[in-house]
Amino acid sequence: MKNDNATPPPTNFIRNIIEKNLADNLYQHKKWSGKPGPEIEHAKAPEDTARIRTRFPPEPNGYLHFGHAKSIILNFNLAEDYQGRCHLRFDDTNPEKESEEYVNSIIDSVRWLGYEFQDEKENNLYFASDYFDYMYEAAVVLIKADLAYVDKQTPEEIRLNRGTLTEPGKDSPFRNQSVEDNLTLFEAMKQGKYADGEMVLRAKINMASPNINLRDPAIYRIRHVTHHNSGDKWCIYPMYTFAHPIEDALEKITHSICTLEFEDQRPFYDWVLKKLADAGFLAKPLPKQHEFSRLNLTHVVLSKRKLIQLVDEGHVHGWDDPRMPTLVGAKRRGYPPSGFKLFMDRIGVSKADSVIDYQVFEDAMREVLNHECDRRIAVLNPLKLVIHNFPENHIELCEVPNHPQDSERGSRQVKLTKELWIEKEDFEVNPPPKFFRLFPGNQVRLRYGFVIECTGYETDDQGKVIKVLCDYLPDTKSGTPGSDAVKVKGNIHWVSAQFSTSVVIRNYDRLFHSDNPNDAENFLDDINQNSIQMSEAVCEEHITQASIGDQFQFERHGYYIVDPESSTEQMIFNRTATLRDIWQK
RNA sequence: AGGGGAGUCGCCAAGCUGGUUAAGGCACAGGGUUUUGAUCCCUGCAUGCGAAGGUUCGAAUCCUUCCUCCCCUGCCA
């Protein structure tokens, strides 16, 4: 076990910011009415008991993946570490792409990671769509302050007049429409008097801004679409850039943490909040946006488009395929939530673009799995072994610990008989140098049993080894006095041919060959065609007591989890990760 | 001269209000323990902080110039 004191507490620039904010008493007297709302509702409420508030704001338009896990763990851990709260908020402002199916899956995945957002004190499950009334009101506030206008230009015209990266844009001919006209038009938009795309509400900032996001960004668009939550109440929907700062403010979020690509958006985020605060709609302390670099992993694609393609084109068997970098996939693969947390601790949080070696991810998983999993014995590639001098019908009970480093996990008895299954790889007719397993004349220990000496083998017509013969040394049984008298270098595992059960094994490997599949002309060409290898294995009989989701280390092989497709007749095991293997290298 | 970010060991990443020999993890290389060639333990692993100048008794940390990479021209988020 590692000494936790040896590793310094993980720190990062966001924690530094929070600690400084707290030291500056920035949030000392902030209010919280118990539910999201504008300042008029928070003002009369007591001081917030949460020192900070963060939020995880997914759009319910897909399944959560490893990248989301980074954000979830960051936000929830921050809240926990600084005696704050973290909200789960669905950023559902675009009904064309969103659905309830995703809402439910996302909730499940956040909980699976071990985070809760609803308890006896607070229910912090929110939907941006529940704030549509406030957002409409906020838009009206801006219009009245002559800070927003309804633009009747076509989308094409708006695009053309936006200018380019190096040239300023041109003002819309509708930019100086009267406040009254804007109010009337916006109301008419809301009433459904116009078709999709006919007009849009825009913030009035500066068409010549060097930051393109400030060239009068659209803040409301017309979409005659049924919303998964608000139904047909609205036919106009706020844009993310306008909605997000308001969502954060209504929820009294202190630290709004997002990924780097939103950095250019921050001036607009601050603009919206300031203007609404000026109008008395919101009050300080206003939320602050902070950006970190998103997760990239070698041999993995995380773009939503590519993940959809993998599923839709059948390169994997659905979103929860154990090879998918989704959280539902991770669950089925057997990657534990605690492994994700350890992984996030190890990779840290910064603003530098980075690509993490998949090894780092896998090693974090191995570390927690090694600690958490009971051991079991399975022979994945069976070869018959016959102990020539072993009594015909004798059953030798062997005591096998469930965990070599944790005796409190107890032990079990495994039956040793004359005929056993061993791994094909554990026997060599002509062993390579330094091979210390079984070969003619060599001695090895049958793990937890006796030392045996290989006396010969049998082959089929093709010369393939089909049976290994040996003698056992009666005085060498594990755990008995003097059993160590005979020293052997090799230890091989085995299961009784008589007392064992057959199971299906699904060995998974990386889905993509190259470090960065995105570099390929077509990432699909980089797919590893051997990313899943099915086989039948023989396992010790105790395994039949396992249930779906149970995880074990199959000794000398790796970590496996019982797949949901298992039945009592046919158990199926997914390989989560192999054990490290210096010999293979 | 569009704007915004980032560059510290093979991969991450602390440090960056200037001041002991530049944390830590992963990887890698040795060694020890071990009835998993696993785990665990020990040792090694940047005279160097994108580059070049400068300020200073002293710079990864301050200044100047330069180089490289990433993001931004949706009525997506």
Model confidence over A213-241: pLDDT tens digits? 999 999 999 999 999 999 999 999 999 99
Respond yes or no: is residue A510 known to be catalytic.
no
From A162, A175, A304, A351, active-site residue: A304
Look at residue A204 and tell me whether its pLDDT is greater than 90: yes
Which range, of A121-125, A181-185, A517-521, A527-531, averages the lowest pLDDT?
A517-521
| DSSP-derived secondary structure letter, A297 | B
Instruction: For Cα atoms A465, A466, A469, give the angle at the middle one, nearest 5 degrees.
Output: 90
For chain A, give the mean pLDDT.
95
pLDDT, tens digit, 9 for 90 and up, residues A531-561: 999 999 999 999 999 999 999 999 999 999 9
- Strand B contacted by A2 CB (< 7 A): yes
N- to C-terminal Cα distance for chain A? 25
Respond yes or no: is residue A96 known to be catalytic.
no
Radius of gyration of chain A (CA): 31
Q: Give the mean pLDDT of A418-440.
A: 95
Buried b (16+ CB within 10 A) or exposed e, A316-325: beebbbbbbb
- Strand B contacted by A194 CB (< 7 A): no
- Strand B contacted by A374 CB (< 7 A): no
Residue–nucleotide distance: A352 CA to B66 C1' (Å): 21
Burial category of A416 from C-beta neighbours within 10 Å (exposed 0-12, middle 13-18, buried 19 and up) = buried
pLDDT, tens digit, 9 for 90 and up, residues A277-331: 999 999 999 999 999 999 999 999 999 999 999 999 999 999 999 999 999 999 9
- Strand B contacted by A155 CB (< 7 A): yes
Q: Give the mean pLDDT of A471-480.
A: 94
**A437, closest nucleotide (Cα–C1'):** B37
Nearest CA to the C1' of B8 belongs to which residue?
Answer: A352
Residues 434-493/A with CB < 7 A to strand B: 434-437, 445, 447-448, 477-479, 483-484, 490-491
- Strand B contacted by A153 CB (< 7 A): yes
Q: What pLDDT shows up at residue A3?
A: 34
Query: Which residue type, as a one-letter code, is found at position A16?
Result: N
Ranges assigned E (strand) in A356-499: 374-376, 378-379, 382-387, 396-401, 411-416, 419-423, 443-446, 451-459, 465-473, 490-492, 495-496
Q: What pLDDT shows up at residue A5?
A: 39
Q: What pLDDT shows up at residue A521?
A: 82
Q: What pLDDT shows up at residue A482?
A: 84
Residues 291-350/A with CB < 7 A to strand B: 293, 346-350
pLDDT, tens digit, 9 for 90 and up, residues A58-73: 999 999 999 999 999 9
Residue–nucleotide distance: A350 CA to B50 C1' (Å): 18
**A94, closest nucleotide (Cα–C1'):** B76
Residue–nucleotide distance: A279 CA to B4 C1' (Å): 29
Q: Give the mean pLDDT of A98-105.
A: 96
Domains in chain A (CATH in brackets) are 13-129+243-292 (3.40.50.620), 133-238 (3.90.800.10), 304-374+503-578 (2.40.240.10), 378-493 (2.40.240.10)
Look up tokens 């118990």; give the residue: A34
Q: Give the mean pLDDT of A26-52.
A: 95
Q: Give the mean pLDDT of A244-260.
A: 98
Q: Is A51 helix (H, G, I), strand (E, B) or coil?
A: coil
- Strand B contacted by A259 CB (< 7 A): no
Q: What pLDDT shows up at residue A8?
A: 54
Q: Give the mean pLDDT of A98-123.
A: 97
**A451, closest nucleotide (Cα–C1'):** B35
pTM above 0.90, yes or no: yes
* Separation in Å, CA A346 to CA A3, A11, A355: 15, 11, 13
Buried b (16+ CB within 10 A) or exposed e, A333-361: bbbbbbbbbbbbeebebeeeeeebebeeb
pLDDT, tens digit, 9 for 90 and up, residues A404-427: 999 999 999 999 999 999 999 999
Backbone angles phi, psi at A426, to 5 degrees: -90, 5
- Strand B contacted by A210 CB (< 7 A): yes
Q: What pLDDT shows up at residue A9?
A: 61
Look at residue A194 and tell me whether its pLDDT is greater than 50: yes
> Which chain B nucleotides are covered by protein, judged by CB under 7 A?
2-8, 10-16, 23-29, 35-41, 69-77
Residues above pLDDT 90, as percent of chain A: 95
From A175, A274, A294, A447, active-site residue: A294
Q: What pLDDT shows up at residue A585?
A: 60
- Strand B contacted by A197 CB (< 7 A): yes
- Strand B contacted by A137 CB (< 7 A): no
* Band of pLDDT at residue A1, cut at 50, 70 and 90: very low
Tell me, what's the ipTM? 0.95
Burial category of A305 from C-beta neighbours within 10 Å (exposed 0-12, middle 13-18, buried 19 and up) = exposed
**A448, closest nucleotide (Cα–C1'):** B35
Q: What pLDDT shows up at residue A481?
A: 87
Nearest CA to the C1' of B27 belongs to which residue?
Answer: A359
Residue–nucleotide distance: A200 CA to B2 C1' (Å): 26
- Strand B contacted by A556 CB (< 7 A): yes
Look at residue A6 and tell me whether its pLDDT is greater than 90: no
- Strand B contacted by A208 CB (< 7 A): no
Residue–nucleotide distance: A351 CA to B22 C1' (Å): 21
Respond yes or no: is residue A190 known to be catalytic.
no
pLDDT, tens digit, 9 for 90 and up, residues A131-184: 999 999 999 999 999 999 999 999 999 999 999 999 999 999 999 999 999 999
Q: What pLDDT shows up at residue A484?
A: 85
- Strand B contacted by A162 CB (< 7 A): yes
Q: What pLDDT shows up at residue A2?
A: 34
Distance CA A114, CA A121 (A): 18
> Cα A568 to chain center, whole Å?
30
Residue–nucleotide distance: A164 CA to B9 C1' (Å): 41
* Band of pLDDT at residue A342, cut at 50, 70 and 90: very high
Distance CA A431, CA A449 (A): 23
Look at residue A54 and tell me whether its pLDDT is greater than 90: yes
- Tell me the sheet residues that pair with A503: A537
Q: What pLDDT shows up at residue A583?
A: 85
